[in-house]
Amino acid sequence: MIGRLTVPRSGWHPATVAANTPETGSAARLELDVEGWPGNAAGQHLDVRLTAPDGYTATRSYSIASSGPATGDVTRVVLAVDRVPDGEVSPFLVDVAMAGDRLEVHGPLGAFFVWQPQPAGAAEPAADAGVDATVRPVQLIAGGSGVVPFVAMAQAHADADDATPFRLLYSVRTPADVFFAAEFERLVAASAPFRLDLVYTREAPAGWPTPPARITREALAEAVLPASDVPLIYVCGSTGFVERVAAWLIELGHDARSIRTERFGGT
Amino acid sequence: MQHLDGNALAGALAEFFSFDVTTAVARCNGCGAIDEFARALVFTSPAGTVVRCPSCDHVLATLVESDDRAWLGFSGVSAIEVRRG
Amino acid sequence: MSFVTRGFGGRSRDRDERLPPGQTLVHDFPVLSAGPTPEVDTAEWAFSIITEAGTHKWTWDEFNALPAEDIATDIHCVTHWSKLGTSWRGVSLDTLFENVESQFDYVMAHSYGGYTTNVPLDELLNGQSWVATEFDGEPLDPEHGGPARLLVPHLYFWKSAKWVRSLVMMPRDDPGFWEQNGYHIHGDPWQEERYW
């Protein structure tokens, strides 16, 4: 639900790379042990700053795939970083960073693109919960690496055994490009209601009922919750993907204020 | 480079404000639209960051940074609303 | 807290004695933008000089009938990159101001898309600036300011307004867009006039 929302205060924290493992052919899962991390809500991001010997710095934002309160002086924070061709920071994080390396991170950042489960035992949503006093179903729409904040949201939803209906429409190029595939399988099977719809744009798995193709307005209309359900919608991906999808959602009757977007840049 | 949205301002502006800027609400002086900063379009370049109204493109705010100074311009909004508590 | 990140080298940058202080030589041509790239059709394009007495206006065809020059010059961006010996083609501001009279000493350049920047008139005249329509022998790309941009190479390149549409005479050196938002009112790279 979206209502009065409190998120921890952001700050700069030293972090140690605990693990860097391949997630897809072009992306890595980076696990960081962050000192003094106050915890983060699902959907928040952090900034990573790299410093060269001559003092030059480069800073980039990455969505956090994990969420939850701090777990003591050091908290494990999970990122999934896609290598941007000719990028300054992502090739370093994906190909060079290794366990033991020290980085600086700034976060948790952002209270807009966040989903939090209902407080346990809450009888009613907060007074300023928005359009409808009942709990609204949630529609997540991800393009490529835009799925990362939704990994955190879906996991938080499952961990709380939250009854809110959750759907994720996830567009990827090929089956090998699916992030957190094993985690998503477990989430679909868990008791908190979670449905995953995959769209393959370049290459589909053997036996897939539809040929690979970019999402169209019609495919979107079929997969997402209808406007009459008044869902809360989150869209995340490249700028082009997000703006195309958001425009179609408005055409399909969803209220602009029900749609929260996060653009990653790119094409 | 493609533009981003106001979510991308969270880190850069955390240095200057104690509140989260992305959920702060402002009224565009150009068209009167009232929206959270997260919904604004954000154009970043090494020269500076320009924040534009998603409805009418009017410049809402700018951020310029040097090594030891920063300049925050809010010429395109009349006021900023922040939630308390 | 800042510490050096193992294995991160950043970008390599060349220093060169021909450059103003704080500048580094680059061989590409970075694009910096404050908003969406205006797409201006030359059929609708016009360039104006507006004074307190009236307006001088050229359509694309009229503009291209004016005597033009080839320009070879160095350019310096406030974000620390410089390019030496860039080639442009354009119409000198001396040509454009030939029949323009004004009591005012300052100019505000206005661009398609709303960008503005201010320059004193005496820094635009006497061979110091052009309205350029070609770069490197080709028509100027929209992302580099085409169809036409102001070219004032002796000042930081934010003064060389992309997508220029008019020059408006003004009595005071009023600040343009970046000048209002932190950049130096004048912008001389040799004096490192970058910020307020």
How far apart are alpha carbons C97 and C51 in whole angstroms?
11
Mean pLDDT (chain A) is: 92
**Cβ–Cβ contact B52 with C under 8 A:** yes
CB-CB under 8 Å, C2 with A51: yes
Q: What is the pLDDT of residue C146?
A: 96
CB-CB under 8 Å, B45 with C32: yes
**Residue A201 DSSP code:** S
Owning domain of residue C127: 45-191
Chains that touch A (3 or more CB pairs under 8 A): B, C
Q: Rounded mean pLDDT of C160-175?
A: 98
CATH code at position C105: 3.90.420.10
- % residues pLDDT > 70 (chain A): 92
Q: Rounded mean pLDDT of C176-192?
A: 97
Q: What is the pLDDT of residues C142-151, one digit of tens each?
A: 999 999 999 9
Q: What is the pLDDT of residues B21-77, one digit of tens each?
A: 999 999 999 999 999 999 999 999 889 999 999 999 999 999 999 989 999 999 999
Domains identified in chain A and CATH numbers:
11-109 (2.40.30.10), 138-263 (3.40.50.80)
CB-CB under 8 Å, A58 with C7: no
Name which of C160, C181, C194, C196 to mutate to probe chain B: the one with the most chain B Cβ atoms within 10 A of its Cβ: C181
- Partners of C107 in beta bridges: C119, C169
**Cβ–Cβ contact C15 with A under 8 A:** no
Give the long-range contacts of residues A67-70, CB within 8 A, separation 24 or more.
A67/A39, A67/A40, A67/A41, A67/A42, A67/A43, A67/A152, A67/A153, A67/A155, A67/A156, A68/A39, A68/A40, A68/A156, A68/A159, A69/A39, A70/A8, A70/A37, A70/A38, A70/A39
How far apart are alpha carbons C10 and B5 in whole angstroms?
26
Q: Is residue C168 part of a domain?
A: yes
ipTM of the prediction:
0.95
Q: Which residue has the higher pLDDT, A250 or A2?
A: A250
The token pair at C64 is 């291209």
Q: Is residue C97 part of a domain?
A: yes
Give the long-range contacts of residues A208-216, CB within 8 A, separation 24 or more.
A214/A171, A215/A169, A215/A171, A215/A244, A215/A245
Q: What is the pLDDT of residue A123?
A: 47
pLDDT higher than 90, residue A119: no
pLDDT higher than 60, residue A266: yes
**Out of A70-79, B8-17, B28-37, C32-41, least confident range:** C32-41
Owning domain of residue B45: 4-81
pLDDT higher than 80, residue A122: no
Q: Is residue C85 part of a domain?
A: yes
Structural domains of chain C, count: 1
Q: What is the pLDDT of residues A6-49, one digit of tens each?
A: 788 999 999 999 999 999 999 999 999 999 999 999 999 999 99
How many CB pairs below 8 Å do chains A and B form together? Answer: 65
pLDDT category of residue A132 using cuts at 50, 70 and 90: very low
Name which of C8, C15, C28, C79 to mutate to probe chain A: the one with the most chain A Cβ atoms within 10 A of its Cβ: C8
How far apart are alpha carbons C15 and B25 in whole angstroms?
45
| DSSP string over chain C | ---PPTT------B--TTSPTT-EE-SS-----SSPPP---TTT-EEEEE-SS-EEEEEHHHHHTS--EEEEEEEE-TTSEEEEEEEEEEEEHHHHTTT---S--EEEEEETTS-EEEEEGGGTTTTT-EEEEEETTEEPPGGGTTT-EEE-TTS-GGGS-TTEEEEEEESS----HHHHTTB-SS--GGGT--B-
Structural domains of chain B, count: 1
Are A173 and A215 spatial neighbours (Cβ–Cβ below 8 Å)? no
Are B22 and B5 spatial neighbours (Cβ–Cβ below 8 Å)? no
C-chain residues within 8 Å CB-CB of A104?
A: 1-3
Q: What is the pLDDT of residue A76?
A: 98
pLDDT higher than 60, residue A130: no
Using CB atoms, pick whichever of B6, B11, B22 lies closest to residue A47: B11
pLDDT category of residue B83 using cuts at 50, 70 and 90: confident
Q: What is the pLDDT of residue C1?
A: 59
Q: What is the pLDDT of residue C33?
A: 80
CB-CB under 8 Å, C194 with B64: no
Q: Which residue of A has its CA nearest to B55?
A: A256
Which residues neighbour C44 within 8 Å (Cβ) at sequence distance 6 or greater?
A: none
The token pair at A113 is 């693109």
C-chain residues within 8 Å CB-CB of A94?
A: none
Q: Rounded mean pLDDT of C12-39?
A: 84
